[in-house]
Amino acid sequence: MTTTAIFALTRNGVELATRLAATLPATIWLPERFAAFAPGGRCYTNLSAAVQTAWQQSKAIILIAATGIAVRLIAPLLQAKTSDPAVICLDEQGHVVVPLIGGHRAGANALARQIAALTGGQAAITTASDGQGLPALDLIGQAQGWRIATDSATTHVMACLVNGDPIGVWVDPDLPAARALLGAELAPVATVEWVADSEELTNPRFAAAIVVSHRRLDPLWHKLRDKGLRYMPPVLVIGIGCRRDVPVHELATAVSATLATADLAPECVATIATADLKADEAGISDLARQLGVPLTIVTTAQLQTLDPTAFSPSAASRFDIPGVAEPCATLVAQGPLLVPKQRFARCTVAVALQQATFGSDTTPTGQLTLVSIGPGDLAHLTEAARLALIKAEVITGYARYIDLIRPLLRPDQEVIATPAMGDEMGRARHAIELARSGRRVALISSGDIGIYAMAAPVFENLQAGGWDGRHPQVEVIPGVSAFQALAARIGAPINHDLCLISLSDLLTPWPLIERRLRAAAHADFVVALYNPRSQGRNWQLATALSILRDHRPATTPVVFGRQVSREDEQITITTLADADPQQADMLTLVLIGNSQSFHLAGHVVTPRGYTTQPARPSDFLMSNKTTDYPIVITKPAHMPAVVIGGGAVGERKVRGLLAAGIPVRLISPTATDQLMAWAQEGRLIWERRTYQSGDLTGARLVFAATNDRAVNARIAAAAIAAGALCNVADAPDEGDFHVPAIYRSGGITITVSSAGTAPGRAVALRDAIADWLDSIGVHNHER
């Protein structure tokens, strides 16, 4: 069930609805012709049919329309104040906000005041109790989960309250904290009289009666219900133990019998409690769902702290725990045992009185659980997340995520679905406020809630509010993130170091994002790009891919994963050269492999590491250290080179590499004029600094061309460790290959090599050949 539906009839109404929806978790309903003014809203062609639909789905309906229109629309839909949603009517300027129905129980009065505060208008509250400053009886205990008996004479008692008639009040003596809570609420009422004996309420001198108890009280209530209001607080904790695979109907029968025998009201059950040994019993989970209460799991470690002699003998002692039904009930309730263990054919039941709900501490201690729901398929939802959803009273989150888990939700759970992304801080703040009021709240997010999701906004709000670590209690449930789900779909692409980078510059400046991209590219991380592209940010992904192309082979695998594990999943595997930014949107994750990643039969694989030890050559190759057999590289773009050293020797190495079409990265604090010119032209990447460990990552060819012998030796050793081929200018034998002296003229290429033994002689011979060609009139050549 959604929280609020806002209906607009005109363009001005749509503008006001948009303003309200930015603060209130709400769905905007609007005429089709105004759809462009509220993206994400629901369009209608028939207003009456749309209101009827929202009536079944919403807890509150806001109509930006004339009061007469509103009354005619809702009149055929009215059923009972216990089930009808709150209905509020206001004008297009928000000057007057009128709660039409559900002022107290459905929260229309409070919502009207909230709307008036947003619009600067006036809430026209017409309920008599509000006008006299008297408490709203149908709201007392609501935050604590109190129920009002369906056969209560609520309207009669409210009338007596307003008219000043005498009202008798009795609270079960076993519920002192409930007595304190009700006493504080009724303090302004002069006509209230507290009685010690519940039978006194039958005295005709009381025009009305108020009863608070966890017991059935059938004879008494039969006498009082025509003039009585009965509160039923959730204070009963039912502990259950059972054999394997006991069906829910058998457990339900046992619980009903136990409560009936002890004269306890089933409406006052707060939770079902069992041991973690029984957490996977479908019958127990179904029972909690059937009763509309959470299932509380008690761990073995908690049970082992209890004194076994305090409980009835149990077969569970063989598991080194004092039992299940009684210990679980008392441990969760933190109160006395009302009904000791009742044995049935295949289960045991015990009941304890929960008093912690109304403890002496007047500050409600709720629970805020940040639940990761995974990428979308419920098969990827963790058991911890499922249990957190079962325990929650309120489920809140982005509407798209709520829809993913809706099959797991119960009718009694309040669902607050935010219709659009954005305002994460406001959403987090609202969840915290609900928890601080004493409620059990689950704030959900897809993937892992701690990765680009709602965990950080929650803790930022808590920090701003001076959180003490206890009010409310906060727990984070991890989940399967989008990058993990995508990786699993396509093989093993993240089997080495990985970094996640969001391309959204809404909260992070783009220059900082670009620095991180360059650092990740340089360090050869596998990269997962979140928030890659939207209508308003359509260039960042292209820039990111361009940066990565400077450091990785064109064949590097790239994967576009959209809506992974959902019905409309789309996965595209391509290469860095062919990756098209147009394939991505905000629902897409882009995964880029490192320099070692490869394609394999429709999958992508990243090896666990780099080559740390070169393959040992055969004895034959070792006995023939050099060869004059020429090798031609047919795909030079796949052989990225690193040249360390920016002097004349480095320039000659770079000249040959560029002529061969090989990508070059130059590392040197200085460079020749020619090298600087090539860098300015974009023909090479120049990193203006000295050599550092890790600079060879991703390189296939390495050239040590500095004027420091020790540095060149370090480079040669690092190249061997990285599995790259290395040329060492001042010690050819330390390297793996030599570069000949080259002469080019027209379509002729002449190379002169001494196999590294005398490079100076090779250059001299090359120059002699060049001089001879000059002497015979051939001038267009390159050395």
pLDDT at 236 (0 to 100): 95
Both 6 and 122 in a single domain? Answer: yes
SS3 109: helix
Bigger pLDDT: 423 vs 538: 538
With 0-12 / 13-18 / 19 or more C-beta atoms within 10 angstroms meaning exposed / middle / buried, residue 192 is middle
Bigger pLDDT: 99 vs 567: 99
Cα 397 from Cα 413, distance rounded (Å) = 14
Both 34 and 89 in a single domain? Answer: yes
Domain assignment present for residue 705? The answer is yes
pLDDT at 615 (0 to 100): 43
Q: Would the pTM of this model clear 0.75, i.e. be above it?
A: no
Cα 280 from Cα 278, distance rounded (Å) = 5
pLDDT at residue 674 above 60? yes
Cα 115 from Cα 388, distance rounded (Å) = 32
Both 410 and 351 in a single domain? Answer: no
pLDDT at residue 616 above 70? no
> Residue 351 belongs to a domain with what CATH number?
3.30.420.180
How many domains, in total, are found in the chain?
Answer: 6
Domain assignment present for residue 617? The answer is no
> Residue 595 belongs to a domain with what CATH number?
3.30.950.10
Domain assignment present for residue 399? The answer is yes
Backbone dihedral angles phi then psi of residue 640, each to the nearest 5 degrees: -60, 140
Residues whose CB falls within 8 Å of the CB of residue 449, separated by 6 or more in sequence, listed in order: 370, 371, 372, 443, 455, 476, 477, 478, 479
Strands of the 337-343 sheet, one edge to the other: 295-298, 269-275, 236-242, 347-353, 337-343
User: In the chain, what percentage of residues exceed pLDDT 70?
Assistant: 90
Residues whose CB falls within 8 Å of the CB of residue 60, separated by 6 or more in sequence, listed in order: 3, 4, 5, 85, 86, 87, 88, 102, 106, 107, 108, 111
For the ranges 188-192, 425-429, 479-483, the lowest mean pLDDT is seen at 188-192
pLDDT in tens, 485-497: 999 999 999 999 9
pLDDT at 410 (0 to 100): 73
Both 460 and 488 in a single domain? Answer: no
pLDDT at residue 620 above 90? no
Residue 738 and residue 762 in contact, taking contact as beta carbons nearer than 8 Å? no
Q: Sorting pLDDT into bands at 50, 70 and 90, what band is 774?
A: confident
Q: Sorting pLDDT into bands at 50, 70 and 90, what band is 144?
A: confident
Helix H or strand E segment including 147 = strand 147-148
> Residue 664 belongs to a domain with what CATH number?
3.40.50.720
Residue 231 and residue 147 in contact, taking contact as beta carbons nearer than 8 Å? yes
Strands of the 526-530 sheet, one edge to the other: 498-502, 526-530, 588-592, 557-562, 570-575
Both 90 and 154 in a single domain? Answer: no
Domain span including residue 178 = 138-232
DSSP string, 508-563: S-HHHHHHHHHHHHHTT-EEEEES---SS--SHHHHHHHHHHTTS-TT-EEEEEES
With 0-12 / 13-18 / 19 or more C-beta atoms within 10 angstroms meaning exposed / middle / buried, residue 516 is middle
Structure token pair of residue 255: 């619980």
pLDDT at residue 363 above 90? no
Domain assignment present for residue 618? The answer is no
Both 12 and 113 in a single domain? Answer: yes
Q: Which of 232, 256, 286 is the last residue of a domain?
A: 232
Both 322 and 383 in a single domain? Answer: no
Domain assignment present for residue 769? The answer is no
Both 255 and 350 in a single domain? Answer: yes
Domain assignment present for residue 116? The answer is yes
pLDDT at 1 (0 to 100): 47
pLDDT at residue 610 above 80? no
Domain assignment present for residue 623? The answer is no
Both 228 and 251 in a single domain? Answer: no
Domain assignment present for residue 161? The answer is yes
Identity of the residue numbered 97: V
pLDDT in tens, 206-221: 999 999 999 999 999 9
In the numeric block, the tokens 């309250």 are attached to: 161
Backbone dihedral angles phi then psi of residue 116, each to the nearest 5 degrees: -60, -35
* Mean pLDDT across 296-310: 85
Both 279 and 190 in a single domain? Answer: no
pLDDT in tens, 493-520: 999 999 999 998 888 899 999 999 999 9
pLDDT at 128 (0 to 100): 63
Q: Which of 432, 462, 477 is the last residue of a domain?
A: 477
Both 449 and 488 in a single domain? Answer: no
pLDDT at residue 484 above 60? yes
Packed helices 11-21 and 108-119: angle between N→C axes, nearest 10 degrees: 110
Q: Sorting pLDDT into bands at 50, 70 and 90, what band is 439?
A: confident
In the numeric block, the tokens 């929806």 are attached to: 21
Comparing CA positions, the residue from 272, 258, 275 lying closest to residue 317 is: 275
Q: Which of 462, 477, 492 is the last residue of a domain?
A: 477
Both 221 and 241 in a single domain? Answer: no
Bigger pLDDT: 673 vs 420: 673
pLDDT at 571 (0 to 100): 93
